[in-house]
Structure 1
Amino acid sequence: MLTPDLAAELDAFLIDLNRASGEVILPLFRIDDHGLEDKGGVAGFDPVTQADKGAEAAIRKLIAERYPHHGVIGEEYGEDRPDAEFVWVLDPVDGTRAFIAGLPVWTTLIALRWQGNPVMGSIGQPYVGEIFIGHGKGGGARLINRAGERPLKVRPCPVLTDAIIMSTDPTAYFDGAELGAWRQVAAAAKLTRLGCDAYAYAMVAAGTVDLVAESRVCKAWDIEVAVPLIEGAGGVVTNWRGEPIGRNGGQIVMAGDRAVLDEALVALKRSAD
């Protein structure tokens, strides 16, 4: 049972996990030898580094020691008890391309499922000292940084022509139909920015970005954290049909304002899975 006391305990543990992963990752950032490997796959180059592997191993070790009955799903080391009551969904370095380029927009993504649904999640950026944490609808969201803590709240933006929108790399990750739909949305928006991976999700929760869309290549560990974080900040997260996202990743769109999401869905639904 996810009681208020247990939720508070897990929230504190989530902060511990972020700090432990940061201790592994930061010494490997902006150095010559990342231990870079190419896993192959999307866009012809799918990098992984010592930071990805080491951070996930550190997170898994802490979970196993503290909550041995919990499950884990991670990008680097696969699934362990994926049908447990509590399951941690991990992407130790989301934005590995940014990481190896020395750009501080990579993040550590940690989501927690309870009975199959994401109920808590964090986006951490240890280089700039930020942890964004959300507890889903009605549970609130907050930013922890070097100045302290503050609540997160999405901003109103009811029309696409006023919206700042983002995606990681439409030309690399979207197929033809998806790219056409994205271009239609982008043509209507006030401003479009690319390339920040999941850091863009945090900006929706922080109220500086209005909408983010990502493609069907996304896995659960890429996107699941968006649900508790953005909904906790008062926003909305769906697939490209306007439905709740599934447990296996896929197309996702998130927004601070339901009205601007609905406007974007007019185009996105045409290439929805």
Structure 2
Amino acid sequence: MTAIDFTSFVDRLAAVSGETIMPFFRSALTVENKKAGGFDPVTAADRAAEEAMRSQIRKAFPEHGILGEEYGSERTDSEYVWVLDPIDGTKSFISGMVAWGTLIGLMRFGEPVYGMMHQPFTRERFSGDNGAALYRGPTGNRSLNVRPCTGLDDALLFTTSPLLMKETDRAQFRKVENKVRLSRYGGDCYAYCMLAAGQIDLIIETELKPYDIIALIPIIHGAGGIITTWEGTPAQGGGRVVVAGDKRVHEAALEILNRV
């Protein structure tokens, strides 16, 4: 059995999570803070959506593992492990903005093999299996493909926020930011999908968890992009990541980020 067998099931998870989340969006919902000394919000929508997806997985594939942002891990030594972030971009969600989405990733033997980002408000789904990536939405279906970019001086750079970075990492990020044509903040998972769609060229982030990134890796790879850590290693463990549509931009960003 290969990852492609799971595509219809991932669509079901996206539908169930979206139906659970949407009644909460742009409503007067209660927000809790998970981070002492900072702000890491969680809502009833996050928890309800992850519960709904976990229930579907347990019923359909009881032998599979699950790793989720809100309820932790179970059976993560299984051949297949589902990686869930019910609302990536909760700060945007509680602000009524649309730069958020549900991340559904599938790992096999520890490697990301399929991923989807579902934005139920805009009715968009971005998916990939490392070999190809697909957009489905109100404007129709189409393949996702990154765009060429000759160098940093032509690049459009995104990060969620430099304020999320440690001071030393922020200083290195600023060095790259000073080289690009345009930098923008925000986007969370949506920015990664825009890179896969050929709209932007570079993303630099830090402090990521596996559930923030695993679903996005097969989408980026499927669209022809590159995603690694700052050290140039596989990114599924999270931490500091660099994502680019063109290897020239990726190499240039890594060189600056790692410059002493």
| Category of TM-score, reference length = shorter chain | over 0.9
Question: Structure 2: which 5+ runs fail to align?
Answer: none
Residue 16 of structure 1: aligned partner:
12
Q: 1:158: Cα distance to partner?
A: 2.3
SS at match of 2:27: coil
Partner of residue 263, structure 1? 252
Matched, 1:36 2:31: yes
Aligned partners of 2:258 and 2:80: how far apart in 1?
32
**Matching of residue 179 in structure 1 with residue 175 in structure 2:** no
Structure 1 runs (4+) greater than 2 angstroms displaced:
none
Displacement of 1:270 after TM fit? 4.1
Please state if 1:188 is matched with 2:179.
yes
Contact 2:112 2:215 in 1 (8 A): yes
The aligned residue for residue 210 of structure 2 is 220
- How many residues in Structure 1 have an aligned counterpart in Structure 2? 260
Deviations 1:212-248 (A, max 9, x none): 1110x2100011122101000001110001121243x
Match of 2:97 among 97, 100, 103: 103
CA distance in 2, matches of 1:233, 1:204: 9
User: What does residue range 77-156 of structure 1 map to in structure 2 within 5 Å?
Assistant: 77-136=71-130, 139-156=131-148
Contact map agreement 2:82 2:105 (CA 8 A) in 1 = yes
8 Å CA contact retained: 2:157, 2:180? yes
In structure 1, C-alpha distance between the alignment counterparts of 2:14 and 2:140, rounded to whole Å: 16
Gaps of 5+ in 1: none
Q: Which moved more, 1:8-17 or 1:161-170?
A: 8-17
CA distance in 1, matches of 2:34, 2:234: 30
User: Distance in 2 between the 1:203 and 1:192 partners?
Assistant: 14
Percent identity of paired positions between Structure 1 and Structure 2: 45
Within the alignment, does 1:64 sit opposite 2:53 as a pair?
A: no
Kept in 1, the 8 Å contact 2:213–2:235? The answer is no
Tell me which residue corresponds to 2:232. 242
